[in-house]
Amino acid sequence: MNVFKESNIGNLTTVNKLVSQPMEGNDAVDGGKPSERTIDRYNRLAHGNWGVVIVEAISVVDTSLARINGLILNEKNLDDFKRLVDEFKKINNETVLLFQVTHTGMKSGNFSEKVTLCPGQSSEYRYLSTDDIEEIKQSFINAILLAEKVGADGIDLKMCHGYFGAEMLRPMNTRNDKWGGSFENRTQFLSEIIPEIKSKLKNQNFILGSRISMYEAIRGGCGTNTPDEITEDLTEQGKIIELMSSLGMDYVNVSAGIPGVTSEITRPTNGSKNLYLNHFRYTKYAKEILEKINSEMKVIGSAYSILKEDAVNYANENIKKNYTDFAGFGRMSFSDPLYPKKLMDNEKTNYCNVCSGCSKLMVKQLNTGCIIYDDYYKKLISG
């Protein structure tokens, strides 16, 4: 099967085309350090022979967090992140290991500072000044350089799911400073941060990619064409993908929706199963854009878990038809971290049963994982 064949992202080879998408475990300790539980989760993924593993959302600041036990990438936590990478690489040195870096913006929890960059939001959110945004940009740059320092193979810049990065890109971002209004201003963050990082990285093979929501399904959100429009128009998202390519980025990780607001669009459930088709359409669109400009940038798709046993065939078909380069699994990487290895070895797999148990744990701010196949999380949800 094509999906089990090697590929590449940037200058790195991937052993197959299966991606473990970022999944927050909410189990950091002592101010955002990976705990034993965090390290154990990634060790299990290391045994799974994924082409790429993207470590869950890691905050670049300690002031705004979505999860009470969220990971934070700073100097203080460096040794612990290094341990995570070292242990992973000791088990499996072939899987490409990326860190997702984020600022939680409006999606920060009540226990931290909720901030917004779009004008006209409720007073619950502190409005970020031009300088605040510059400072956040520097925090991203620092964190990305720390990711390089601890040995990650690259990063996934989170510009999806309603977090700071997504808010920046929205037509609803009508700020009248350099960060808002025109398309050029709303993408300024991206076009400033990438060259600056590139000039500072020592590892020339370090992967730079970003996860974007093609359509957020809110008025003025990503994937609409004006601040007061709600229907989908992918034109701007296409332009963002072109921009990413022209900046020399290595991949776009295609997602959609805003968890907690338009959750089913991000992660279809049994009652909304067919929404996975939107994700297929979005990667196909991204591929068409990149083909047109002869770009080498790769496309990663999302939301395959709902397809259970059929997922691998759909992934294979989409790759064969050139509708995506990689297939990404979120919940499935929780239910069975060994999924790719088991598929290749023809072993019985713990398919995600799409019960939303992991999401419920996350919303309750508890350690998050699969409540069906892992007794620790099963007990947490029931008790």
Ligand X SMILES: Cc1cc2nc3c(=O)[nH]c(=O)nc-3n(C[C@H](O)[C@H](O)[C@H](O)COP(=O)(O)O)c2cc1C
Task: Please list every residue from 218 through 257 that binds ligand X, using CB under 6 A.
Answer: 255
Of 180 and 380, the one with the shorter C-beta distance to ligand X is 380
What one-character-per-residue DSSP string does 68-102 give? TT-EE-SGGGHHHHHHHHHHHHHH-SSSEEEEEEE
Residue 330 interacts with ligand X (CB under 6 A): yes or no: yes
Helix pair 311-320, 276-292: axis angle to 10 deg: 20
Q: How far is the CB of 24 from ligand X (least distance, A)?
A: 4
Tell me the CA end-to-end span of the chain in Å, nearest whole number: 43
Helix pair 78-91, 130-149: axis angle to 10 deg: 40
One of 35, 77, 92, 100 touching ligand X (CB under 6 A) = 100
Residue 21 interacts with ligand X (CB under 6 A): yes or no: yes
CB 358, CB 269: distance < 8 Å: no
Tally of CB atoms within 10 A around 249: 22
Residue 298 interacts with ligand X (CB under 6 A): yes or no: no
Residue 332 interacts with ligand X (CB under 6 A): yes or no: yes
Tally of CB atoms within 10 A around 85: 21
Give me 193's structure tokens: 């941060």
Residue nearest to ligand X (CB): 330
Residue 303 interacts with ligand X (CB under 6 A): yes or no: yes
Helix pair 235-246, 276-292: axis angle to 10 deg: 50
One of 24, 153, 216, 232 touching ligand X (CB under 6 A) = 24
Residue 104 interacts with ligand X (CB under 6 A): yes or no: no
By rule CB under 6 A, what string of x and - marks binding of each residue 162-201 to ligand X?
----------------------------------------
H helix or E strand, kind and range, residue 115: strand 115-116
Q: How far is the CB of 176 from ligand X (least distance, A)?
A: 30
- Of residues 310, 316, 308, the one with CA closest to residue 1: 316
Q: How far is the CB of 109 from ligand X (least distance, A)?
A: 14
Select the span of 28-36, 192-200, 223-231, 355-363 touching ligand X (CB under 6 A): 355-363
Residue 349 interacts with ligand X (CB under 6 A): yes or no: no
Q: How far is the CB of 369 from ligand X (least distance, A)?
A: 8
Residue 359 interacts with ligand X (CB under 6 A): yes or no: yes
Task: Please list every residue from 56 through 85 that binds ligand X, using CB under 6 A.
Answer: 56-57
Distance CA(318)–CA(323), nearest Å, equals 5
Residue 267 interacts with ligand X (CB under 6 A): yes or no: yes
- Of residues 69, 68, 44, 70, the one with CA closest to residue 56: 70
Residue 137 interacts with ligand X (CB under 6 A): yes or no: no
Q: How far is the CB of 131 from ligand X (least distance, A)?
A: 27
Of 28 and 180, the one with the shorter C-beta distance to ligand X is 28
Of 97 and 180, the one with the shorter C-beta distance to ligand X is 97
Residue 17 interacts with ligand X (CB under 6 A): yes or no: no
One of 73, 262, 368, 370 touching ligand X (CB under 6 A) = 368
One of 159, 234, 358, 371 touching ligand X (CB under 6 A) = 358
Radius of gyration of the chain (CA): 19
Of 41 and 161, the one with the shorter C-beta distance to ligand X is 161
Q: Which residues pair with 252 in a beta bridge?
A: 210, 299
CB 313, CB 3: distance < 8 Å: no
Of 185 and 282, the one with the shorter C-beta distance to ligand X is 282
Residue 300 interacts with ligand X (CB under 6 A): yes or no: no
Distance CA(333)–CA(352), nearest Å, equals 8
Cα–Cα distance list, 42 to 18, 111, 182, 245 (Å):
16, 27, 40, 30
Q: Which residues pair with 213 in a beta bridge?
A: 255
Q: Which residues pair with 13 in a beta bridge?
A: 8
Select the span of 22-30, 39-47, 167-175, 226-234 touching ligand X (CB under 6 A): 22-30
Residue 161 interacts with ligand X (CB under 6 A): yes or no: yes
Distance CA(366)–CA(352), nearest Å, equals 20
The residue ranges that bind ligand X (CB under 6 A) are 21-24, 56-57, 100, 158, 160-161, 211, 255, 266-267, 302-306, 329-332, 358-359, 362, 368
